[in-house]
Every structure is written in structure tokens, then in C-alpha cells.
Structure 1
Amino acid sequence: MKRNLSLLLCLAMVLTLFAGCSAKQGAGETAPPSTSSSDPAQAASNTPAQEPVTIHLFHQKQEAQETFAKIIDAFHDAYPYITVEQEIVTNDPSAILKARIATDEVPDIFQGALDTMDIAQGGYIMDLAGEPFLDNITGEALRDASFTDADGHTWAMPVDGSCEGIFYNKDIFAAYDLTPPKTLSEFDALLETLRDNGVTPFALGFKDAWTIKPIALVAASPAVYAIDADWNAKKSSGQAAFADTPAWTTSFELLKKVYENGNTKTAFDTDYNGACAMVARGEAAMMVQGLWALEPIKSVNPDVNLGMMAMPVSENPDDTKLFQFPDFGLSISASTPHPEACKRFLEFLTRPDSAELWCSTAKLFSAVKGVSVDFDPLAADVNAYIDAGMVSTQADRGWPTAFQPEFEAALPNYLLDKASLPDILKSLDSAWDTAKAASQS
């Protein structure tokens, strides 16, 4: 009997050991150790199946719709469980975004803009500081962006960089032996030569009122902010004023000079696309705009020979600097139910393939390290300014949000002589102080 009991116990132990081994083997088959891979897409394919999620991307870059679609398709191939739906809003996107925020319908990812800091102060944006994918962004883009505050919080990831300056037709310049001016007197001589030869110097599309502001910024950036990068802080603390800053007078006078040397009589009847067409067809020698205008100009005439130059603001050539800044950035909602999926998408945008596709299509400079795209011969002109350190930034970055429309409204009033320049500058001082007080209340 004891012998039989011993046999039964031995058999039980063997069966238990066998069952334990089988269980371990089964666990290994269903959940193998993670495979190390330097390829994020490969690593994603080796992770366990994820619950499907959909994230909502809100932006205003209509010209980037197809490019985003291609990037989203590639992203979905790498992360099949994440669906990205893009919504493009071009008509007052800032107001629409704020309405969504007010009704607790914040998009998962949305475009950073001039009011990003205000939205962040309300607690609606995730702080991206310390996220590994920001290591893929150039330090210059992070420093210059209006998305990183003085406390080191990063409220949006810069995607690309742009500039605003003067597009000029190199063939027209060559025909009259003209070169980009570096001083105000050279600028005046160039305008006189063009007028004397029946050439309209500037294409103006003021029917779209937003096109006036870039002219003011192209002047103010080197005239005001390249000289005093702390001007905004001084204005807010009462140490500076528009009315007492000669460089602001210069900036407004240059705006009027451009207006008086363009298609002045039709400026407010011509829209942005019409002004781009004028440049494309050689009907005007120059246009003050941002790099984003290159695509609509080239769509009318792919062979137009364009250059980019800075606006002279004094008799010192060293003051003639190109206005450069990070252009497009993306924020993540602080209340998104899918924070990791959103971060994966932003990380995907910092990969070289994505960055090169974006910038070659958008015709902008990349904010991603190591990505250089020669999207147009004109890029060589911009790079020459950058390489020489002849660039300035900031301008309207850091202005109180409520001040922006006040500034924009003042520009046509000045051009159409509805108010004198001293009165305009005084009104801007008052508008700034009011907007600053409102932002702190």
C-alpha cells in the first residue's frame, strides 16, 4: 500500500512539473520579450495590439492639407491603431478654437498661434518641456518660438521656420542694373529708377487686410527689435512707448513708402492672390510677404526668377536684417484622452522623412535638426542672410493678444490718412496698456 502511495505521489509531482513547464511555454508564445529596435516603426509593430484611438488635428494651413494627408498615411502605417483626422479652418481659426475651448471641445492637437500663451495660461495646453522628441528640434527654433515661455514651459512644438522680406524679380532688377539696397538712400534710388522706367515697384493686395501687417513687421523687426530685443518688456513696464521710439516712426514711414510706390490706386481692390499674380507676371518688381507666398506666385508662373531681400531701415547697412521666425507649431490639449497617441504623432513629425516632405512641399525651412531642403533657388538668398547672422526675429511675438487686432486696424487708418502718425502711435500705446491689463486680470 505504501509502495502504491509513493508511486501516486511521484506521478503527481511529475504531472505538476510538466504542467508548470507547459504554462511557462504558453506564456512565452503569447507575450514574447520585446524586441529591441532602433526603428520606431518596427518597434511599434512588435508591441502588443493596442485599442484603436482617433485623434483630432485642428489647423489653418490649407496649403498643407495634402502634405498632412501623406504624413498621416505614413503615420498610420507605423501605428495602425491610431487614426488622425485633420480639420482645416481658414476663416478666423483663433476664434473658432476659443469657442471649442469654451464648450469643452478642445481638439487633441491644434496649431500654435500668437495666442498660444494666453490659452496655455488657462490650463488648456500640455507642457511639452522634457519630451524626448523635442531633442530633434533645433535649439534656435525652440528659443525663437513664441511657444516657450520664460519659465521653460514649451506649449507647442515648432515644425518649420519661415521669414518675411521683400520678394523681388531678379530679371527686372538685372534689366535696370539694380541690386538689393542696403541703406534707405539706396532704397529710394531703386524706387526712383523703377518709377522712371514705368515699372510698378510693389504689388499690393490690401483687399485682404492681413497682407498689410507683414510690411510693418518686415520694417519693425530690424528697426525696433534687432536694436532692442527687450522692447516689449520695456513697453509693458512703462520704460518704452510707441510714441517715444523713433524706430516705430521709421517702421510706419516705410509702410507708407511701400504703399505709395505700388499699385496704390487699386491696392484695396486687389486681393492677396492678385498681388501674387502681379509678381508672377512681372507686373510689379517686388512684394513684401512671407515665404508662404512663394507657392502661389510659382503656381502662376513656375519660371519667374525671384530673390528675397531684407528691408533697409537706416543708413547703416548692418541694420538691414531679414525677419526670420518659427512659423508653424502644434500643441497638445491638456485634456486629451489620448496623450500618448498625440505625442507619437508629434514625434513622427520630427523624423527626417516627415520633415523633408513637409518643408519641400510647404517651401519653408525645417525646425528639425539635420534637415535642409533646397525647395527653391530663392532659399539661397535666405540662407545667405542666415549664414551671415543678418536676421532678426520677435516683432509681434510676445505682444498682448488683444493688442494684435488694434495694431492691425491702425495700419490702414494710417495709410488712408484717417489719423496722423503721432495720434496712431499714441493710440497704440493706450491699446497695449489696456490689452496688457486685461491679460493680467
Structure 2
Amino acid sequence: MKKKFAAFLSILLVVGCLAGCGNAKSTEDTSQAKPNEQDASTPEPAAKEDADAQASKEPVPIHLFHQKQEAQETFAQIIEAFQKEYPYITVEQEIVTNDPASILRARVATDETPDIFQGALDTMDIASGGYIMDLAGEPFLNNINEEVLSDSSFTDGDGHVWALPIDGSCEGIFYNKEIFQKLDLTPPTTLSELDHVIEVLEKNKITPFALGFKDSWTIKPITLVVVSPAIYAKQDDWNELKTSGQSSFADTPEWKTTFDILKKIYDHGNTKTAFDTDYNGACNMIAQGEAAMMVQGLWALEPIKSINSDINLGMMAMPVSENPEDTKLFQFPDFGLSISANTKNPEECKLFLEYLTRQDTASLWCSSSMLFSAIKNVSVDFDPLAADVNAYIDSGMICTQADRGWPTAFQTEYEASLSEYILGHDSLENILARLDTAWDTAVKAAQ
């Protein structure tokens, strides 16, 4: 993540300490004048005429496609309020959590692109094919913090905006502060300290890590919290070096470290049940104190707290070496929405995106999803855990996310290699060699 976005999150956190997200107010409270408050500037007949005009419009359906399972209820509230303001528009959300990127690409290939869909790692690839509407110049972008918009993974160097950034997040290790305090443990900053924490927890019959590998997407974040600080914090042009043949997976020692740490976490988690436990199950484990730690993104805070609102959670970065200076937290623009270039209802789609950038709507999203907001003047005091993230920002111990620049076609091969390694289906030497080949093939295919 670029320094501007880190600074933006720092500002948000400081502001958040001064003011909470608060309860979101209904949009219709501010958009409609009460009958006894009418004056000459807002005559009742005009208001009635506008309402009649809305009601007389032809019904417009909008298909919203996203993978944010934990936001389903929040979206339902937002959609309900939106549809009260625009009764002729119906927003139907489809939530896909199992390989949503592949499903979306298949929809695009068969000309079934959803009207609005979640911007993800392949946003730029989809945009390059002409399938995404350029949002540059849309008035609602003025509601987005400039640093987030300019540093977003959804804005290219030519000024095109391919997705609306809505929030920002980070990934690291959730840990149960009460368990740590009880056992006189402190967040580790080196690999040897991490080994000590694991040893103490297991001696006290506590599972160190909650694993939900039945949902295969939960494996990748473990490697991202390692490789982001281990490689990209020091060599942010590693992707370019790899593509030009000046570097490789096989010849970069930190990639071996990444896979070794993944195996360590697998070996010291609910290993026997990891592939039978899903994401929600892992959240339940840490919420109920059945595990002391879980590697995930900030989005997991809401489902954990929904199970146990009293849990005292912290967030720490993953140690990647014996040098504490290498232990950094990575941050990134998280959730964004794109509009299909082929939608039959572009103006209605824009109305929905505009609605999401209103402060009341963003406040609701912030307080319920427990993420930082990309919208101006929306505070982020959603949980005491934010103070831990703030500490990393203030000390400069943050870094960019590794996979945002990876070739899209490479992602699938990478994700498949992770389970193969931890289950012992192939050697690390062979896996790294295959990743080198997969990268080169993906780059050539994209040219």
C-alpha cells in the first residue's frame, strides 16, 4: 500500500478516536420535508409531482454481485433504504463466496456480466477487455477521500476509475488478549518469539491458530501476511524483476520462508479438522476461546464479535524473520464496486453507487462491517482493536499487499500450490519451479 493510503488510514483512526461511527440516519429523513415544514421554496405540489414521477417510471432491476458474505444484512438494510428513495429500482444481491473471481469471469465471457459487481484482484484485467464502465468524472467520486481514490487498486495511471472504493482494510493476526495476558505472553516480533508463544499455548492445552481451510480462500491470507513484509516491503518492484527474468520464486529465499510459515501455522492449528472447518467455524473457534489466534483480514472482526461481543481481541503483524523491523502490517483498499459497461441501466447503477457514498450510508457500513471508510468525514471508531492498527501506522510499520500486481491467471495456480504443500503432495522445490512457469505463462497470455 502506498504511503498516502497509510496516512489516510492513520487520519481516519485518529478522527475515529474523537467520534464514533454513530447510528446511520435514514436517508429519507433528510431528503423529504415534513408536511408542517413546507415553505415557498419547497412547495408541496412539487414534492408530490416528484413522487408521482418516481412511481410512474418503468421498473428497473439491478443485479448486484459480490462475495462479502458478512455484509449481506448490511447491504439488505442499505438496499431497503435506497429502494424507498427510488421505488422504481429493485436491487437484487447475489453473494458468491466460492471462487467468485472464476464465476465472474465466466459471466463476463458469456455476456452475463452483473450490472454492479465487486472489484477484486482482476478488476484491471476485466477493464482492459472493455467490460467495465469508467467512473472518472462522476460527481459522487467527490465524496471519496482523495488519497484513497488516487491510491486505489481500482484507478489506473491514465486517470480511469474502474471501481468505487468503499472501505479499506488490513490483514494480520487476530489474538485473544485475555489468553495472552493470562499466560504472560506478548505479541511476537520475531520467528523465535512466535515459536515461544506457540509452545506456551500448547503446553496450556490451547490451540494456537484457528483454521477454516474448508473455505480454501482462507489459506492465501496467511501467505500474504508473510510475503508482503518479507519481500515487497523491501523490494516493491519484485513483480517487475520476476517478469523481466531478474528474479524468480525459486531463487528468492523469502518465498521458502513464506511457505515454511504457512506450514508452521497449519501444524499448530486445528490441523486434523482444518479442511473440515469453514471460515465461520474458524471465527467461532477464536470467538469462543477455542484458539488463541487467527490469521485473517479485518473483515473477520464483525463475525467474531457477532458470536462473542465481549471478546478482547488484538491485531498484530506476522513475524517473518529474527529482525523485529521486518514485522509489518499490510493494508489495502478492500471493497469496491464496478458497473458493467454493458448494463442496460447505467444511470440507475450510478444512483446506487452515489447512495453508497453518502455519509449516513457509509456510517452504517463502517459500524456494521467494522472496516475503515473511504468516504469523506466518516469516522472509524468501530472497535478498540483499531488502536492496534493505529500503532503500526504511527510507527511506520506498514507495507503494501503483495498480490495486487500479480497476473490474474497466475492467482489460481498459486492458491492451488498452498494446500498441495501443507498436505505434502509435492516438494517445495517443485512447487516454486511451477510457480515460476505459471507466472511466465500468465504474463505472456495477458500480452
Report the TM-score, using the length of structure 1 for normalisation.
0.84
Q: Would you say the 8 A contact 2:213–2:274 is kept in 1? A: yes
2-side partners of 1:288 and 1:187: how far apart?
Answer: 13
Q: For the structure 1 residues 269 and 62, does the alpha-carbon distance in structure 2 shift closer, same or farther, using more than 3 Å as the test?
A: closer
Shift of 1:331: 0.4
Alpha-carbon displacement from aligned partner over 1:257-276 (angstroms, at most 9, x marks no partner) = 21222222332333322222
2:407 to 400, 406, 409: 400
Aligned to 1:134: 141
* SS, match of residue 306 in structure 2: helix
2-side partners of 1:277 and 1:46: how far apart?
Answer: 46
Alpha-carbon displacement from aligned partner over 1:341-389 (angstroms, at most 9, x marks no partner) = 2222212111111111012111211111221222222222122223333
Q: For the structure 1 residues 412 and 103, does the alpha-carbon distance in structure 2 shift closer, same or farther, using more than 3 Å as the test?
A: closer
Aligned to 1:356: 363
Q: For the structure 1 residues 188 and 76, does the alpha-carbon distance in structure 2 shift closer, same or farther, using more than 3 Å as the test?
A: same
Shift of 1:81: 4.2
1:280 to 274, 287, 304: 287
Q: Say which is worse superposed, 345-354 or 314-323, in terms of deviation.
A: 314-323
RMSD of Structure 2 on Structure 1 (CA): 2.4
Q: Say which is worse superposed, 45-54 or 307-316, in terms of deviation.
A: 45-54
Aligned to 1:298: 305
1:31-430 matches, cutoff 5 A: 51-52=57-58, 53-430=60-437
2-side partners of 1:277 and 1:83: how far apart?
Answer: 34
The AA in structure 1 aligned to 2:124 is M
**Higher RCO structure (Cα 8 Å, ≥6 apart):** 2
* SS, match of residue 405 in structure 1: helix
Alpha-carbon displacement from aligned partner over 1:260-313 (angstroms, at most 9, x marks no partner) = 222223323333222222212212111111122223322332222211110011
Q: Say which is worse superposed, 225-234 or 429-438, in terms of deviation.
A: 225-234
Q: Say which is worse superposed, 405-414 or 76-85, in terms of deviation.
A: 76-85
Q: Would you say the 8 A contact 2:339–2:349 is kept in 1? A: yes
2-side partners of 1:362 and 1:130: how far apart?
Answer: 28
Q: For the structure 1 residues 91 and 185, does the alpha-carbon distance in structure 2 shift closer, same or farther, using more than 3 Å as the test?
A: closer
* SS, match of residue 307 in structure 1: strand
Shift of 1:107: 2.0
Shift of 1:120: 0.9
* SS, match of residue 402 in structure 1: helix
Shift of 1:153: 1.9
Report the TM-score, using the length of structure 2 for normalisation.
0.83
Unaligned runs of 5+ in 1: 1-34
Q: Would you say the 8 A contact 1:58–1:88 is kept in 2? A: yes
Shift of 1:329: 0.6
1-side partners of 2:337 and 2:343: how far apart?
Answer: 14
The AA in structure 2 aligned to 1:164 is E
2-side partners of 1:65 and 1:208: how far apart?
Answer: 18
Unaligned runs of 5+ in 2: 1-39
Q: Would you say the 8 A contact 1:311–1:322 is kept in 2? A: yes
Q: For the structure 1 residues 188 and 421, does the alpha-carbon distance in structure 2 shift closer, same or farther, using more than 3 Å as the test?
A: same
The AA in structure 2 aligned to 1:381 is D
The AA in structure 2 aligned to 1:311 is M
Shift of 1:167: 0.7
2-side partners of 1:424 and 1:408: how far apart?
Answer: 11
Aligned to 1:23: none
* SS, match of residue 285 in structure 1: strand
Larger radius of gyration: 1
Q: Would you say the 8 A contact 1:146–1:398 is kept in 2? A: no
2-side partners of 1:98 and 1:233: how far apart?
Answer: 25
Alpha-carbon displacement from aligned partner over 1:118-154 (angstroms, at most 9, x marks no partner) = 2111101011123232232223433443222233322
Alpha-carbon displacement from aligned partner over 1:140-192 (angstroms, at most 9, x marks no partner) = 43344322223332211111112111010101100111111122232222222
Q: Say which is worse superposed, 127-136 or 112-121, in terms of deviation.
A: 127-136
* SS, match of residue 291 in structure 2: coil
Q: Say which is worse superposed, 276-285 or 214-223, in terms of deviation.
A: 276-285
Alpha-carbon displacement from aligned partner over 1:213-250 (angstroms, at most 9, x marks no partner) = 11001111111111112211221222221112222222
2-side partners of 1:381 and 1:45: how far apart?
Answer: 49
The AA in structure 1 aligned to 2:413 is E
Alpha-carbon displacement from aligned partner over 1:63-97 (angstroms, at most 9, x marks no partner) = 22221222223223433443333233334333333
The AA in structure 2 aligned to 1:329 is G
Q: Would you say the 8 A contact 2:135–2:162 is kept in 1? A: yes
